[in-house]
Every structure is written in C-alpha cells, then in structure tokens.
Amino acid sequence: MTGMSLNDLSSLAELVSACTIITGVIFGIFQILAHRTDQQNAIAANLCQTFANTELSSAVNLLHQLEDGAGAEELKKRGPEFEKAAVIVSTSFETMGLLVYRRIAPVDLVMELAGGMCASMFRKLEKSIQAKRRELNQPSWAEWFEWLALLAPKYKKQTTSVASRVSSWRR
C-alpha cells in the first residue's frame, strides 16, 4: 500500500497545527508592536497639538514677561490674565508630567518638544505655585509640572544639543 498510514496523517496534522499556532503567535506579536507604534504616534500628535493651542501659546508668551521666581503677588498685580496664564501653563505641564511618569508619553519626546519651556515656566512660577499650594491647602498642586521641570535639566545633560545633532547630519 502506497498511501499514508493513520500515524503519518496524525503526525502531519500535528505539524500543520503547530505551524498554525506559531504563525498566529508571530502575527499577534506584530499586531501588538503595530498597536504600540500607533499609540505612540497618537500621543506625539496630541502633544504637538497641545503646543499649537493658541491659549497655551499666549499664556507662555505672556508669562515670559515675568522675572524668574515671580510670586503670587506679582501675578495678581499684573492682572487676571497673568493669573489665568499661570493656571493654563501649570495644568498643561501637569498633564504632560503625569503622562511621562506613567510612561504613556515617551520622556525623550516630551523633553525634546517642551523640556526647556517647561523648566523656564517653572522657574518663573515656582513661588506662585508654592503660594497656591498653601492657599488651597493642596500640597500636590502642580506637582507633576514641578517633577517634569526638575527632570528637564538632568535630561538635557544626558543628551546632545539640537545644534550639535543638526551639524553632524550636515557632514
């Protein structure tokens, strides 16, 4: 008899089954990786849109007029638009800080996009943030903003400057 035996058919079925499972696992891994890439791209796009927001841009522009360490009294003296700008900046960077801490947003992306601005804004608002914490009896007010701002200089020391990277690309 030249046909396949029942044992041969059984072995072939097991081989086909094993190949199907392996193919499914490989496909699943690629799907998970593609999903993570899609999520990171969506996060990057959302972060970029944050800075395209005219309200945040206007707030940052307004607060750049302040000296570093401006207190709550200085904001109040300058008017409600400065107080509102401080809240907009604080809550925007607070959100980014939490996203970085939770590893939802990649730290390198956030630092390259906004690390310097975050550190600069925190230097200007630190005293007013401390006053807000006391006023509201809420020690956690803008804590992720502070964390992100304090991380920025450390991150900057670990990376090369944009100018040096760009000049190396031109070579």
Task: State the DSSP string of 65-102.
Answer: TSPTT--HHHHHHH-HHHHHHHHHHHHHHHHHHHHHHT
Per-residue pLDDT tens over the stretch 6-53: 888 888 999 999 999 999 999 999 999 999 888 878 877 777 777 778
pLDDT of residue 124 exceeding 90:
yes
Query: What are the boundaries of each domain within the chain?
Result: 8-41, 53-161
Please report the pLDDT score of residue 159 as a whole number: 64
Please report which confidence band the pLDDT of residue 3 belongs to, taking 50, 70 and 90 as the band edges: confident
pLDDT of residue 67 exceeding 60:
yes
Please report which confidence band the pLDDT of residue 155 belongs to, taking 50, 70 and 90 as the band edges: confident
92-118: average pLDDT = 91
pLDDT of residue 170 exceeding 70:
no
Q: Give the Cα separation of 132 and 75 in Å (integer).
A: 12
138-146: average pLDDT = 96
Percent helix, strand and coil across the chain, each to the nearest 5: 80, 0, 20
pLDDT of residue 162 exceeding 70:
no
Name which of 131, 144, 139, 48 is nearest 102 in CA terms.
144
Regarding pTM above 0.85, the answer is no
pLDDT of residue 157 exceeding 80:
no
